Amino acid sequence: MYAPNQKSSYSNVAFELLGLAIENVTGLPYAEILDRNILTPLGMTNTSLAKPDDSTGAIPNTPDNVWDYPMGVQAPTGALYTSPSDMSKYLRYILTHYNGLTPSLNWLHPVSYGGSISSFYGTPWEIFRTTKILDPIARATTIVTKGGNLNGYSSMIFLLPDYDIGITILVAGTEDVLMRLRSIVTIPLVRGLDALVAYDAAKTYAGVYTAIDSGLNTSLTLTSSAARGLEISSFISNSTDVLSALVPFQLEAGLPRSAWRAQLVPTLLYKNQSAVPPAGELWRSLMVHNKVGGGEEDIWDDECITDEDPAMYAGVPLTEFVMWRDEHGRVTEVEASGFRVKMRKVEEKKEVRLGLSELSDGRGPGAQAVLGQ
């Protein structure tokens, strides 16, 4: 349809050709390759290209369903009989290994644009990003999907790597049912998960940390909220206000304090990577602009290109923070790598209140839980 390397388009033919190429290279039938390399290793015993016994299937009472339709060369485009429990095994494996399946690819990253500002193509995913689910929080939700349908059947799998969640919807019926279920399932689930994540972050990381060396006037205050995540609200290093001192190096000089914040971003790496389990979570601080209403809007306000490593001292990042947990999984110490200082959490007995209704869709009262830290 287009010149090579021009743009991406959905193509079943491409996957038919891929299936033929795999058969040609291996000398094995596609069904055997699939079973040997994916289905058997993952224990997906209810999944096959061959039709199972009718007693195991959900067969619509309509004349045009394709329950027993052999797809032949089109099998690589989506001819699997499967179950939600088998798809759960598959999605769990992807969520565990998606960034290490090949040496050159994070499998859940997009590779090209789709037809809208929120849609992207992956390999072979359809990727959707939206800020509407958590509105008025202007934070994007990324949902990696793969959909398919034949007469009488429609299906979609969803991967939400930010929340480590996979969803499978299999419908024996018309496709409009799937489209309705998609919203019914994903929207309240994401809102509830996000509220729980915010609560967990506040319980685990937020607090005041002071230098273990009592001779230093050094302290760090971490706060957490659903809208802004985990951030540094104060960092004093030996009596110096670090955040104000670093602003000229990372943002425009002269910005008022209300115009920016120091966001903390997890790297998913550890200082002691070989420990079991790995210890010393590596985080980076990032100076970001706050959107302040009342001024003239500019289209470039939506730009968000990040640089988590803008300043170093003696070869060590000034923006690196190491979170150390105790035997109970609680963060009790924070190490500011570039400042060569360790700080211990000042224990405070307090209540943390979580209101899931804050992120509800407005149709219900939500749920509240009060937990003592």
Fold of 12-199: Beta-lactamase (3.40.710)
pLDDT value, residue 29: 95
Mean pLDDT of 119-139: 91
pLDDT value, residue 145: 97
- pLDDT over 80 at 129, yes or no: yes
- pLDDT over 50 at 220, yes or no: yes
113-127, 182-196, 288-302, 355-369: range with lowest mean pLDDT: 355-369
Q: Nearest Cα to 95, choosing from 34, 189, 160?
A: 160
236-250, 298-312, 328-342: range with lowest mean pLDDT: 298-312
Task: Give the SS3 label for residue 65.
Answer: coil
172-181, 216-225, 271-280: range with lowest mean pLDDT: 172-181
132-136, 196-200, 295-299: range with lowest mean pLDDT: 295-299
pLDDT band, very low/low/confident/very high, at 227 (cuts 50, 70, 90): confident
Radius of gyration of the chain (CA): 25
Question: What is the average pLDDT value for the chain, to the nearest integer?
Answer: 86
pLDDT band, very low/low/confident/very high, at 243 (cuts 50, 70, 90): confident
pLDDT value, residue 328: 87
pLDDT value, residue 226: 86
Higher pLDDT pick, 353 / 368: 353
Q: Nearest Cα to 71, choosing from 44, 52, 51?
A: 51
- pLDDT over 50 at 369, yes or no: no
Question: Rounded distance, CA 133 to CA 183, Å?
Answer: 10
pLDDT band, very low/low/confident/very high, at 310 (cuts 50, 70, 90): confident
- pLDDT over 70 at 30, yes or no: yes
Most confident of the ranges 54-58, 155-159, 312-316: 155-159
pLDDT value, residue 295: 62
pLDDT value, residue 254: 67
Question: Rounded distance, CA 174 to CA 186, Å?
Answer: 19
Mean pLDDT of 159-182: 92
Burial status of residue 130 (CB atoms within 10 A of its CB: 0-12, 13-18, 19 or more)? middle
- pLDDT over 60 at 169, yes or no: yes
The domains of the chain are located at 12-199, 205-372
- Exposure b/e, 92-111, CB count within 10 A at least 16 = b: ebbbeebeeeeeeeebbbbe
124 prior amide bond cis, ω within 30: yes
Residue 254 DSSP class: T
Share of the chain above pLDDT 90, in %: 60
Q: What is the pLDDT of residues 13-25, one digit of tens each?
A: 999 999 999 999 9
pLDDT band, very low/low/confident/very high, at 350 (cuts 50, 70, 90): very low
Question: Rounded distance, CA 271 to CA 8, Å?
Answer: 40
pLDDT value, residue 365: 33
Place of tokens 């995913």: 125
